[in-house]
Structure 1
Amino acid sequence: MTVARLLKDRYRKIFVSGGAGFIGSHLLDILVPQGYEVTAYDNLSNGKIEFIEQHIGKPNFTFIRADMLDRKRLIEAVRGHDLVWHLAANTDIIGSHERPERDLRDCVEATFNMVEAMRQCGIRDIVFSSTGAVYGSLCEDRAVSEDAGPLCPISGYAAGKIGSEAFICCYCHMYGLRGWIFRFGNVIGARMTHGVIYDFIHRLRENPDELLIKGDGRQEKNYFLVEECIEGMAFGLLNTELDDQKPCEIFNLGTDSVTPVTKIAQIVLEEMGLKNTRIVIEGTPRAWPGDQPRVHITVEKINRLGWKARLSSDEAVRIAVRRMLGKE
């Protein structure tokens, strides 16, 4: 992890929504030891208290267990902060097919409450975690830039992120906020609670003789490590000046390579020491309703600014697998 202070001296008090989640807890692992005053706000529907327990009790850290839909509590909690790092969202992409209202409430309404709380408290700067899923089928067979459109989501998760981006952008133009929006590839590392790596490891622990790959086996996506994601967001924040004419900026964030799902299976099998496992490909076009099997995004914009992921997608996958297995 980088030794330099992540945000230098530009910010002192940082509010992290979704602070007990996968990305949020890793962000705390950087910010808290570096001396920033940090508040983590999380209802623990996706996050886990064990991810952040090492910080509880430290004088520069506050944990608030509360819901983003409780606007009054959110306003009280965010008051006095310099920066909002907005990570809270519904991350149960598969489960939201049965409960589509979660993407409306936990993404769009939560983000509206966040920017409205900022407006009422006089806080200007927000960093937002969006997703490459907003590009829908546009990115299935070609890599797309931030200018691609129209954005036609094929999942509730993507729709929720587009709605969230829209409220951030409009609050930036109407109420003087400044927004840095990052559309991720697939962020991976320790503490994952879902995703293909998580699924493969758990399936193989249950049955090491067979590994089912859902979908048609042609899936491929951009994977990068959680610490590189955080560093990329911080770099974009610190190196992009916003003003009244351009109060909001959008970046794709990830590596410049992709990893096929069959390669992920191979890496997991190698790291688990399994040599005789039979791989079964389900054969359906999509693994679940709303699945985006092939996601390709360009990261040239953030690269031109001066940031680039150090690891390839394949290298990141192997490291993440090893972390999930407790090997590093």
Structure 2
Amino acid sequence: MAKDKILITGAAGFIGSNLAEYFVKKGYPVVGLDNLATGHLHNLNPILGTHNFEFINADIRDIEVCHKAVSGVTYVLHQAALGSVPRSINDPITTNEVNVGGFLNMLVACKEAGVKKMVYAASSSTYGDSKALPKVEEVIGKPLSPYAITKYVNELYADVFYKTYGLNTIGLRYFNVFGRRQDPNGAYAAVIPLFTKQLMNKQPPTLNGDGTFSRDFTYIDNVIQANELAMLSTNDESNNCVLNIAFGEQTTILGLVDLLKDLLSDSVKNIENLKTLYGPIRDGDVPHSLASIQKAKEVIGYDPQYSLKQGLRESIKWYQDNL
């Protein structure tokens, strides 16, 4: 049977490129859309030139681009966004234009093209100042950054488009995704690739605060599984829902550094002697994050296979081969 066509926005980014490679290799016809503002074309090297992959270098802020991209598409996996809390604090206007304006463009294009389902990247930042742990989908606080506001607005818009126009959407609230192709360079590099690169180069990692903040780190292959399950779900409960996508374990930033040192100790000599540096707490940071993944398990059958340690082992191999 011919497989349904998938559009992946943000296809040259970290998560988008992994999704694109996965579905192209499974035989789906895939369209990748990216303006290359934060993504890199080399992330798509494994599939560029493949007969069932088409790349569009364009911007979701252009509604005509969105209309063109969804033509003939059954499913949309919307990953395109300007990520990073600090970036949104430094430039809230562009963050809003891309994350809210671009998202609305995609919703309109999906509605008018009759797309079957749009699975979109939501964010654990939506939980804001809620202190309750573990995080459950129905209990959120006030957002702590412009980025968090934009991701919450996405959920509100998706809900309205389902109730008003019947566009089926599923939001996946990602918790600190990491893995191959996550960029360790630049001002807004995420903590795992940044620390991995620093430790590989025998540079002391610098923590924001005293290292006691905690996160629920989620390996990329768990996220790929969640997107596929959400896309193909026929469970009525999955219509117009939002799901936590994480592993369901809490790790402090200090604990993360210790784990990285341990995993790198065979290849980086005397790594245990590297001191850890401490900087100021970043504005907009959520102190603690731990997901309940019970709803994702029940609604789409989510069953994450990679713990933090297993994912770090895979990630380190990739960085050692590619940095």
Q: Could you state the TM-score of these two structures normalised by the residue count of structure 1?
A: 0.88
CA contact (8 A) 1:177 1:247 kept: no
1-structure distance, mates of 2:142, 2:212? 22
Cα 1:115/1:30, change in 2 over 3 Å:
same
Trace 1:40-189 onto structure 2 (pairs within 5 A). Answer: 40-138=32-130, 140=131, 142-149=133-140, 151-189=141-179
How many residue pairs were aligned?
A: 312
Letter of the structure 2 residue corresponding to residue 217 of structure 1: G
Match of 1:302 among 283, 286, 296: 296
- Structure 1's 65 and 209: CA in aligned 2 closer, same or farther, altered over 3 A? closer
Post-superposition offset of 1:166: 1.3
Check whether the contact 1:178–1:242 (CA below 8 A) recurs between aligned residues: no
| Inter-CA distance 41–209: structure 2 relative to 1 (3 Å threshold) | closer
> CA-to-partner distance for each residue in 1:59-99, whole Å, 9 max, x for gaps?
21110000001111221121110011100000133222111
Deviation readout 1:37-60 (Å, 9 max, x if unpaired)? 100000001110000023222221
- State how far apart, in whole Å, the 1-side matches of 2:143 and 2:234 are: 28
Give the C-alpha shift of residue 307 in structure 1.
2.3
1:209 and 1:276 in contact (8 A); partners too: no
Q: CA deviation at 1:281?
A: 2.7
- Measure, in 2, the Cα distance between the counterparts of 1:169 and 1:148: 16
CA-CA distance at 1:144 after TM superposition: 1.7
Residue 222, structure 1, aligned to residue 220, structure 2: no
Aligned to 2:278: 281
Cα distance in 2 for partners of 1:30, 1:202 equals 26
User: Relative to structure 2, which stretch is displaced further, 98-107 or 18-27?
Assistant: 98-107
Q: 1:35 to 1:210 in 2, by over 3 A?
A: closer
CA distance in 2, matches of 1:85, 1:16: 5
CA offset digits 1:154-173 (Å, max 9, x no partner): 01111111111111111111
* Contact 1:137-1:154 within 8 A present in 2 as well: yes
What TM-score do you get using the length of structure 2 for normalisation?
0.90
How big is the alpha-carbon RMSD for the aligned residues of Structure 1 and Structure 2? 2.2
Question: By how many angstroms is 1:315 displaced?
Answer: 3.1
CA contact (8 A) 1:264 1:317 kept: no
- Which structure 1 segments of 5+ residues have no match? 1-8
Q: Which amino acid aligns with 1:264?
A: L
Tell me, yes or no, if the aligned pair for 1:185 and 1:222 is still in contact at 8 Å: yes
Matched, 1:319 2:314: yes
Identity level (%): 25
Matched, 1:201 2:196: yes
Structure 2 CA distance, aligned partners of 1:147 and 1:93? 22
Superposition deviation, residue 318 in structure 1: 3.7
My pick for the range that moved more, 118-127 or 265-274, is: 265-274
* Residues 176 and 247 in structure 1, CA contact (< 8 A), matched pair in contact too: no
Q: Is the 8 A contact 1:190 1:323 kept in 2?
A: yes
**Amino acid in the other structure paired with 1:33:** K
Is the contact made by 1:46 and 1:91 (CA closer than 8 Å) also made in structure 2?
A: no
Structure 2 gaps, min length 5: 184-188
Deviations 1:222-260 (A, max 9, x none): 1121111110222233335348xx840111111121221
Letter in 2 for 1:38: V
**Larger deviation: 22-31 or 232-241?**
232-241
Q: Distance in 1 between matches of 2:230 and 2:46?
A: 28
Q: Residue 276 of structure 2 aligns to a residue in which SS?
A: strand
* 1:40 alignment partner AA: G
Residue 147 of structure 2: SS of its match in structure 1? helix
Instruction: State the secondary structure of the residue aligned to 1:325.
Output: helix
The CA distance in 2 between the partners of 1:247 and 1:100, in whole Å, is 31
Deviation larger for 91-100 or 314-323: 314-323
